[in-house]
Structure 1
């Protein structure tokens, strides 16, 4: 209930206003914070839920195996994220919050993204030593973050085509 309400609130307002969300849910602000933990934590849950939807949609479109499948899925995901109007508005309005939630260990978003990338590697038939593959997944996610969240990082837009050779280099033969 909380995640659904927060996601709908975010999609409507391109942010999460805890006072307004509590009012919409007809609960106190204290109850909302007890349930969510913090505004950042709630953002993390909302972004991860949306990210999972994007990943599932991209995976449904992906064909083939190996590096080509991983890169196809990554490109589709990057296009969905960069095309998300609410995310662009949120990043423009709250860049520090966006950076904290999306790129640091303040929430589980980055950790979950690495786990999801590792799963994509496995589903695509990309294999290596488990510890090495996890490190590659970490590096792959950091590079993808540079593509999809370049504005949060304070750099000009990074085109997927520019990043693709580096992403491919992270995939074992």
Structure 2
């Protein structure tokens, strides 16, 4: 979404950012986004909501990104190490927050198909955002030699643990994923 403002027949003007903020609050309360409920909470029509968001999956993607980016920001601020250890530390701090998030766990359990589409496919647009951010984290911790391909593989390794229930029907094993990610970084840098 690009910050556009929508006005329909002189009715309430709604920005992309306003919708995403409201949707984040809705998601944190309910572990999902119900478009009718969100439209009612925002005092706009469902049609207006869809015009601004271009669909529920896209809105969920934007909400999950915004909430996840906040968690990543917190993990980045709490980092105490550099190099490979610093990258792993940020990942660990982020993963702890994400796995402890009750709304996120409810979403994964209640809507596995939507979660898979949004979190694991190109149409969800999340992986691309996370890969770019992971490259920034690599730079922050001094891993300047890490390529975009390395960042992509790193993210996919960590996602395999975070979303293990969706992908393989098993519990997350972050320790194994962190070990594999460390091996990747040591080989690449």
TM-score, normalization by structure 1? 0.94
Q: Conserved in 2, the CA contact under 8 Å of 1:102 and 1:109?
A: yes
State how far apart, in whole Å, the 1-side matches of 2:119 and 2:54 are: 17
Provide the residue aligned with 2:118 in structure 1.
101
Q: Conserved in 1, the CA contact under 8 Å of 2:165 and 2:172?
A: no
User: How large is the RMSD of aligned CA atoms in angstroms?
Assistant: 1.1
Provide the residue aligned with 1:4 in structure 2.
21
In the alignment of these two chains, the number of paired residues is 170
After superposition, what is the alpha-carbon deviation per residue over 1:76-117, rounded to whole angstroms, capped at 9, x for unaligned?
111111111111111111100001011111122111001011
Provide the residue aligned with 1:13 in structure 2.
30
Provide the residue aligned with 2:147 in structure 1.
133
After TM superposition, where is structure 1 displaced by more than 2 Å over at least 4 residues in a row? none
TM-score, normalization by structure 2? 0.87
* Higher RCO by CA contacts (8 Å cutoff, separation 6 or greater): 1
Q: Where does the alignment leave 5 or more consecutive residues of structure 1 unmatched?
A: none
Provide the residue aligned with 2:73 in structure 1.
56
Q: Conserved in 2, the CA contact under 8 Å of 1:78 and 1:147?
A: no
Q: Offset of 1:155 from its aligned partner?
A: 3.2
Provide the residue aligned with 1:170 in structure 2.
184
Q: Where does the alignment leave 5 or more consecutive residues of structure 2 unmatched?
A: 1-17
Q: Conserved in 2, the CA contact under 8 Å of 1:9 and 1:15?
A: yes
After superposition, what is the alpha-carbon deviation per residue over 1:91-148, rounded to whole angstroms, capped at 9, x for unaligned?
11110000101111112211100101111111111022xxx61001000000111111
Please tell me whether residue 31 in structure 1 is matched to residue 48 in structure 2: yes
Secondary structure of the residue aligned to 1:158 is: coil
State how far apart, in whole Å, the 1-side matches of 2:158 and 2:182 are: 12
